[in-house]
Structure 1
């Protein structure tokens, strides 16, 4: 974790030294700026030291836990890095505080002892850190902590032994594959009856899912062995050496064939590649590359493993989706967690081997089920815990006690080390910048669905995301980070959007337990849900409050806290005011779902704040003083009572995300169920803005929106016909815009969208309002990338479906009170990628025609309030991929007929009674 802390410090130094505010303040202070300039020089020197330190740490791969000198040295590195982090954030705080006072009083302010003393203190602390870094370098050399030729800390041979032992444990921990019968059958089929070309097959999934076990069981089958001339099984692991891999393949092949040169130990890489390629070129071979962590080794292995039409097979097992993508098309297996029944059966087999039928005693079922649920379908955990419990007496209290200390058992019981090590390996293998990001996921409650955008903004606010240049945003870099973490199977995807991009994630319970343990040890973060945790808050740098009523009113060590996130909804404004009173260096503050009606005064003094979430509160007013927070990047006011933002909001020059909406009655079938906030046109001066929604349209605003050239998402309400032309002119200049919501002023307000330029880059479009002439405007022909279209209250007189037929990328289509006609038709070949269809409140619609080969992959449909629809749509049986249909406010005759249709027997129907 030391390198992870160093990454953050370096990022913050670069950001601090690059600020225009530094030069502006220095120029106004004149001679009084000497301390500030000295602090700047000290930071530049520290930046150099930490840069070299980072380079050293990056060369350290899997290190020995028995190297006590190295462990102790790393601990000291972390302490210095944390202290440097505190000083740099203190420096940022003083800059922010000075910058809010105004130039007229700045010189007087400087002369005040508390400010002058503050800058001098920063300078002295930076000097001390520079000295400590120098001593750490001397200490490293004094105790011989060096890097070997292979880029590892000396004395790491025990690591390889540990990895090999772990491999063996994983291989032999199960006697048979449970829960993957279909995958096993498919794999056997591909090995025996597949195509003649050399084929690469991947088996991917998180650590402990049983990838190695599944492939091993297939590999050992006689029918498989007999189908190939030769075979080899190679454990690649994290710290592989390409020469070792090639030699090991040759050695295993030597056991079956005698015509391979014997002196492989003295052969260089190029010769090994050629020797192996020559030998395999006329063979039907099977090579298993187990536990592959990166694609690097594949470049040479691809040349060594000859491509021929002999029916050869290469199987990769990996935790990384990027590695799995090496497989040939349609030849990858993505293992998933076991289902509840499979998990229970596997657990009973291991926990009760001596009981007839291997069944759980009635008295233990309650606690056994809780233990199995905790494993969340992870086979390795189920097997290891079940095997451990097979030696325990069948007493209810003993099993109850084991369940309540399960987290501790996994972290400390040697018999469960295989589970801990399997999950630990994935975390430890993360690069330094990703370690911080992944550990941050540990602040969320158990089973919490983590939203992509929210998580990336939190990372950026904390300084975890590196700047890579002027042409890529921090959000785009953060998006790459999140994708890589998910590809490594450390987060599971819960939901994807219309473009297939993962939007919400979850962390496996056991992975979360390990992360929380690491966070506590590293002083990275702390979850507070009981009074005993408060004592440890003195050292935690991030605090997540799950139960506010069980901790004290104040938190010790608040001056070190960077993130404070509340998940308890029963928190009063007074509690927040007291608890956050000394959070001087806070960067992230989330008060979502709290009962506050007024912003606590302390918030406007948090000059380092980047992220402020006030959503789902009763907040009524955004005070002008909030605009002193010049570093604020994200302000979330979704579902509050804020109906107007102060003009001073334009002073938040680093604001990137502004979200506002007032919910009156959360029902999408009501036209005015929510409203936007009024904003001053000066908001269009915020050049870094990427997401702005929802704001109320006015003449000046729609003219100046074109200045927000980085805008990706725009939501605008109360749009009048007189606004549309200028609004569209501004929008066409926003080249990055991909999501657009336009909501008209009122139901009867007519929006004329004819003769406007198309938006070829638009991916999501929500249009709510009556359209001119009752027809779809021609600009829809220019929406080539549209994947999600939502329309409402359009009052169309002609069937809109033909106007959308060219939208070949459309994945979701929502039509609410759009069409006033009777017949709607879906023709053959239309909507090849449509997966979800929503049709609601079109009361005249009585007939829907569905031709063959239309919407071929549609899997979800909602029909709501189609009062004239009395019969099942003609051709409904053509929707062969349909899996779920939701019916609400539909006529009784229709609902009865749907249930009786043979073509709907395979479809899950969800029925709701007709609204009175």
Structure 2
């Protein structure tokens, strides 16, 4: 029997509890028999009573050994070893960052708190949730009899989760039903020892009790990129992980890329590449490993691809960074959420996006099904933004009425909109003359830098374009060299929303009159004086003018816009006259 057990151990299999008990009892019987044999020499032949007592004990021991020998023929000796991916083992050491250390200490302290049953660790995809939980697992290993880690993933297959737990605990599950398996896990193993159960990558709410994990019998840690799921799971503690700061990001990047980045000719480029990762650990690790010991030309090409939101020739980034973040986008529940998310990537990098902008743009584009009232549109926008933020695809901006998109997330959004969604959107700089599939896009954002004599090609043809945003990414300066009158809108007849920000032009272009379907016009921080052409936009429903300090008078023909539902004037300091009372009276009636 001992030989069979040793052979099994060499195959990475473990002795069953049944055989361990059998072996312990057998050892005890042998020790008792040995003691009797050693004491027989001291017995006197004529001392009948002690001899009778010893003989009786020897007979009982012999019968017990015979019984154990018979049981040994049918006993199950070993359990198969659990799959390697499910074995709770010590993990490879990882870098320790001060910003994460305090979180780890807090979680470990909570595990010792009798009032805390479940702890949730949440954050964006690739921010380091699984790495943190592995570090915690290694640190508390001596505090628990057993630690079970299960990857839940998107489908939340409860039967599969039960099977994984049972395999790690070396417990056979012959029951076919969820309840039957849960009962066996609860009564046979889960209540007997001090356990830590880790549910990694949770996407949907589920009840641990349903799969046989009692709240009172163990501690639970879950990780998720969905904050609302953590709250729905009623976690006692919800810990949110953020990206690394600049110093920590460079430490991780250098650790993965090696000391080649210390070379004087490479260091400046390496720092730029690391900066493009914006503190996201998965991006830093992936890019660093991919560029380790590569030529400077490869580094420069990587910088170009990362800056252009199009890593199609950088497969490691596409697979390990973009695809995991795209999965969060795929799990947005409605098309309205997805559209609102993609709308955010049209704004400049690192921009604080005003929620009012998103509300009016969404309303003008008809993003929200069944919403016909602007105030209802604002409420819907706020609600959906909260949902998107709970998935860590957006952050709160500098002010409460603003949101912000992480640069890597923005790159993924641009990739989704331009590559995955058949060129649905296009984010570009000055060059609109390309003849590629972007000509068929529906949403377009054009960033005009403060470049002297910047010109746009005449006669642009975008037959499907619904939204055009003309922006200046340098908010401290107006676009001096760009002349909006260079744009001919004749090839954009389907345009419904037009948005100008931080532009400097004397008047709106007369070619706006070709936009017969334009419903929303937004002028924000623009040095424009003459907007009289607005009166020709017969379908206009929303006119927003924010901080356009050159406007002195709102033209009277605005009162002739029969479909105008919202006239929004904010901080236009030189505005002296809006419109004659009789004109407005006729419009309002």
TM-score, normalized by the shorter chain, greater than 0.5: yes
- Which structure 2 segments of 5+ residues have no match? 1-82, 473-477
Whole-Å separation in 1 of the counterparts to 2:131 and 2:461: 47
Secondary structure of 1:411's match?
coil
Task: Quickly say closer, same or farther: Cα 1:584–1:189, change in 2 above 3 A.
Answer: same
Tell which deviates more after alignment, 232-241 or 647-656.
Answer: 647-656
Match of 1:211 among 108, 113, 129: 129
Structure 2 residue 470 is matched with structure 1 residue 566: yes
The alignment status of 1:344 with 2:250, answered yes or no, reads yes
The yes-or-no answer on 1:320 pairing with 2:226 is: yes
Q: TM-score, normalised by structure 2?
A: 0.73
Aligned partner of 1:181 in structure 2 is 101
Distance in 2 separating the partners of 1:658 and 1:527? 27
Task: Establish whether residue 262 from structure 1 lines up as the match of residue 173 from structure 2.
Answer: yes
Equivalence for 1:528: 428
**Which one of the candidate residues 245, 264, 283 is aligned to 1:362?**
264
| Secondary structure of the corresponding residue to residue 559 of structure 1 | coil
Q: Structure 2 CA distance, aligned partners of 1:372 and 1:242? A: 40
Deviations 1:699-744 (A, max 9, x none): xxxxxxxx9xxxxxxxxxxxxxxxxxxxxxxxxxxxxxxxxxxxxx
Deviation of 1:175 after TM superposition, in Å, equals 3.4
Distance 1:344 1:572 in 2: 38
Separation (CA, whole Å) in 2 of partners of 1:381 and 1:172: 21
Match of 1:404 in 2: 304
TM superposition shift of 1:210: 0.6
Q: 1:634 to 1:340 in 2, by over 3 A?
A: same
Distance between the aligned counterparts of 2:303 and 2:530, measured in 1? 47
Cα pair distance change 1:197/1:246, threshold 3 Å: farther
Deviations 1:223-263 (A, max 9, x none): x23323433212121233232223323332x32xx5xx531
Provide Cα deviations, 1:279-315, integer angstroms capped at 9, x if missing partner.
53565332111111233xx24656843232x5x3211
- 1:519 is matched with 417
Distance 2:373 2:102 in 1: 49
3-state DSSP class of the match of 1:270?
Answer: helix
Q: Is the 8 A contact 1:289 1:315 kept in 2?
A: yes
1:305 to 213, 216, 223: 213
Q: Distance in 2 between matches of 1:292 and 1:595?
A: 49
Alignment match, 1:662: 572
Aligned partner of residue 198 in structure 2, secondary structure: strand
TM-aligned CA deviation for residue 361 of structure 1: 2.5
1:230 equivalent among 123, 146, 153 = 146
Map 1:280-295 → 2, pairs under 5 A:
280-281=190-191, 283-295=193-205
**Between Structure 1 and Structure 2, whose CA radius of gyration is higher?**
2
Preserved CA contact (<8 Å) 2:460 2:489: no
How much does 1:200 deviate?
1.5
Deviation, structure 1 residue 217: 1.8
- Aligned counterpart, 1:423: 325
- SS of match in other structure, 2:268: helix
Change (3 A) 1:328 1:456: same
Other-structure match for 1:331: 237
Cα distance 1:647–1:579, how it changes in 2: closer, same or farther (>3 A)? closer
Contact 2:479 2:503 survives alignment (8 Å): yes
In structure 2, what is the equivalent of residue 475 of structure 1?
A: 378
1:272 aligns with 2:219: no
Secondary structure of residue in 2 paired with 1:565: strand
Using structure 1 for the length normalisation, give the TM-score. 0.48
Rounded Cα–Cα distance in structure 1 between residues aligned with 2:329 and 2:163: 29
Distance 1:277 1:480, change over 3 A: farther
Return the alpha-carbon distance in structure 2 between the equivalents of residues 167 and 571 of structure 1: 62
CA distance, structure 2, for counterparts of residue 608 and residue 409 of structure 1:
33
Distance 1:680 1:582, change over 3 A: farther
Which whole-Å CA distance do the structure 2 matches of 1:165 and 1:280 have between them?
A: 21
Aligned to 1:236, what secondary structure does the other structure show? strand
* Distance of aligned partners of 1:649 and 1:233 in 2 relative to their CA distance in 1, 3 Å threshold: farther
SS in 2 for 1:189: helix
The aligned counterpart of 1:441 is 344
Partner SS for 1:240: coil
* Distance in 1 between residues matched to 2:481 and 2:488, nearest whole Å: 11
Q: Deviations for 1:729-781, whole angstroms, at most 9, x for unmatched residues?
A: xxxxxxxxxxxxxxxxxxxxxxxxxxxxxxxxxxxxxxxxxxxxxxxxxxxxx
Alignment-derived partner of residue 538 in structure 1: 439
Map residues 703-714 of structure 1 onto 2, 5 A cutoff. Answer: none
In the aligned structure 2, how far is the partner of 1:684 from the partner of 1:401?
A: 61
| 8 Å CA contact retained: 1:410, 1:419 | no
Q: CA deviation at 1:489?
A: 0.9
> Do 1:606 and 1:629's aligned partners in 2 also have CA atoms closer than 8 Å?
no
Q: Secondary structure of 1:460's match? A: helix
In structure 2, distance between residues paired with 1:220 and 1:174: 10
For the pair 1:598 / 2:507, whether they are aligned, the reply is yes
- Give the Cα separation in 2 of the matches to 1:619 and 1:471: 26
Alignment check: 8 A CA contact 1:577 1:601 kept: no
- How much has 1:184 moved relative to structure 2? 1.7
Contact 1:466 / 1:474 at 8 angstroms: preserved in 2? no
Counterparts of 1:472 and 1:200 in 2: how far apart (Å)?
39
1:173–1:383 CA contact under 8 A, matched in 2: no
Give the Cα separation in 2 of the matches to 1:242 and 1:433: 30
> 2:559 corresponds to which residue?
649
1:636 is matched with 545
Change in 2 beyond 3 A, CA 1:372/1:628: closer
Unaligned runs of 5+ in 1: 1-163, 498-502, 665-673, 688-706, 708-916
In the alignment, the residues of structure 1 paired with residue 446 and residue 466 of structure 2 have an alpha-carbon distance, to the nearest angstrom, of 14
Please state if 1:190 is matched with 2:92: no
Distance 1:345 1:213 in 2: 16
Instruction: Map 1:860-871 onto structure 2 (within 5 A).
Output: none
Q: CA deviation at 1:620?
A: 3.4
Report 1:8-27 matches (<5 A).
none
Instruction: For residue 214 of structure 1, report the CA deviation from its aligned partner.
Output: 0.6
1:509 aligns with: 407
C-alpha deviation, 1:380, in angstroms: 1.0
Matches within 5 A, 1:603-618: 603-618=512-527
**Aligned CA-pair RMSD:** 3.6
Tell me, yes or no, if the aligned pair for 1:208 and 1:379 is still in contact at 8 Å: yes
Higher relative contact order (CA 8 A, sep 6+): 2
Matched-pair contact (CA < 8 Å) for 1:273–1:300: no
Residue 655 of structure 1 contacts residue 686 of structure 1 at CA under 8 Å; is this kept in 2?
no
